[in-house]
């Protein structure tokens, strides 16, 4: 199953939903596609969808999906990479009324440089990326929390040892 989510922003992301819906119609996507359409007003014709799924159901779908196609929101991307999900992220763009600015472009570029996701700057490349992602090996997410806590502990101990 391919999961598509556009986050919980008040802004629409019809452009992404339309593209994936068309890909399902054209049989570019062979798997079932489930969409969380958020604040968008586009009604998918070829994919199962809801505006919002409850947290438990959304987490279940995230765990089950083979590929996540999402907007450039850090929360969704971080959840996906922590689960080891193959992720294609499409930035919301101000010129389409999808956000107030284009900050998601820079964010996605950094995630891609780290080899954690595919960043899809040109939505017309989405079908190619969807095909290529199946054979791509992403880096596993590594939290630096342990290193931070260890360094903090070392610094605190050095204060009391003096």
Residue ranges in the chain assigned as alpha helix (H): 14-25, 55-64, 74-82, 103-113, 126-133, 145-161
- Could you say which DSSP state residue 88 is in? E
Residue 98 pLDDT level (bands cut at 50, 70, 90): confident
| Integer angstrom CA distances of residue 105 from 14, 37, 144 | 18, 21, 24
Per residue in 10-46, pLDDT (tens digit) is 889 999 999 999 999 999 998 999 999 999 999 999 9
Q: Which residue has the higher pLDDT, 55 or 144?
A: 55
C-beta of residue 132 within 8 angstroms of C-beta of residue 67: no
> Domain 2-161, what architecture?
3-Layer(aba) Sandwich (3.40)
Local confidence band at 8 (pLDDT 50, 70, 90 cut-offs) = confident
Percent of the chain with pLDDT over 90: 72
Q: Is the distance from CB of 55 to CB of 42 less than 8 angstroms?
A: no
Reported pTM: 0.87
4: nearest Cα among 40, 143, 114, 27: 40
Task: Tell me how far apart the alpha carbons of residues 150 and 79 are, in angstroms, rounded to a whole number.
Answer: 24
């Amino acid at each position: 199953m391919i999961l598509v989510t556009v986050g919980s922003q008040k802004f629409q992301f019809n452009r992404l939903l339309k593209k994936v819906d068309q890909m399902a119609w054209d049989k570019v996507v062979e798997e079932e596609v489930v969409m969380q359409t958020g604040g968008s007003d586009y009604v998918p014709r070829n994919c199962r969808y809801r505006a919002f799924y409850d947290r438990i159901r959304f987490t279940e779908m995230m765990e089950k999906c083979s590929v996540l196609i999402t907007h450039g929101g850090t929360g969704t991307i971080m959840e996906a990479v922590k689960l080891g999900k193959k992720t294609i992220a499409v930035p919301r763009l101000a010129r389409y009324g999808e956000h107030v600015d284009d900050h998601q472009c820079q964010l996605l570029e950094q995630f891609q440089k780290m080899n954690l996701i595919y960043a899809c700057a040109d939505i017309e490349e989405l079908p190619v990326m969807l095909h290529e992602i199946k054979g791509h090996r992403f880096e596993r997410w590594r939290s630096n929390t342990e290193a931070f806590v260890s360094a903090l502990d070392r610094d605190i101990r050095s204060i009391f040892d003096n």
